[in-house]
Structure 1
Amino acid sequence: MAFEVHLHPKLERQLTAMEGQANAPSIAAGRARKIIEAMIQGRTSQASGLFRARSDARVKNCWKYDLGAGYRLICIRTKQIIYIMHIGDHESCDVWLNNNSKKQPHNTEIKMTAFTICDNPAPFDFQTARSPNRKPAFDDQFLTPIPQEYLRKVFCGLVPG
């Protein structure tokens, strides 16, 4: 069980910049703040409405959180500490992972903001299930499904008969 959450100094600047933008970046920053807050409070990832988390083989113990619309939050988890390292669109996160591949980016001289995880009987987990009380995505709320017959007409060269 982790006892601390460490935030990289660039993370707050990245979050602030994303919140200043419109639509998807702002929504992704809000989702990231909920995940970070859940980590600090020791709640499970479902409590923060986590969309999806996957480990990444390029950096040891690395987790990528899918914030929607191509935005990701990158964390590194050790036995004692969760390091929240980077947030950005898919391409910037991919570059960050490639630049830190086979390294330990959390073991640096950079002073990170540290939070002690509140005493909670249920430790933070990295579940990939969708929270039952999470609001549906924009696509789920406002867009109706396209009938198969229309899709087959539009993509007739891709689908047989």
Structure 2
Amino acid sequence: MLDLYKRSRAQGFGAEVKRRIMIGTYALSAGYYDAYYLKAQQIRRLISNDFAEAFKQVDVILGPTSPTTAFKIGEKVDDPISMYLSDINTISVNLAGLPGLSIPAGFANQRPVGLQLIGNYLNEARLLNVAHQYQQRTDWHRQNPPKFL
């Protein structure tokens, strides 16, 4: 039964997901819990507080989804560090537990650019309305980038 569990569990995850699970498991292992997890929880609280302060002044925060345009298909599969760095603009939203979404916002050098919208806690309706209004006034979501093979 255990062998079946191991085989079926591994089939559902790609290499990147497995890598992230292993990093998380390592960080939570005995001896590293205090060093990593507790410190991360403290930082998470600080990030959450910063967003709470920002939302006292604004309804929605917008910015780039990624520091770069989209990669060519398969371009970074052997470079996990570049892939992790691509998440830098979205990590704080996840840590704070905020609703966020990414919508098409045009092209740079023929590569797609994403616009990230971040909403306040329990205010998904406003966030979705802002995204809808943006798409009513632009047509980026209807355009296809050239194929990069």
**Bigger strand share:** 1
- Give me the TM-score of the superposition, normalised by structure 1: 0.27
Query: Could you say which structure has the greater relative contact order, defined with CA pairs below 8 angstroms and 6 or more residues apart?
Result: 1
- Give me the TM-score of the superposition, normalised by structure 2: 0.28
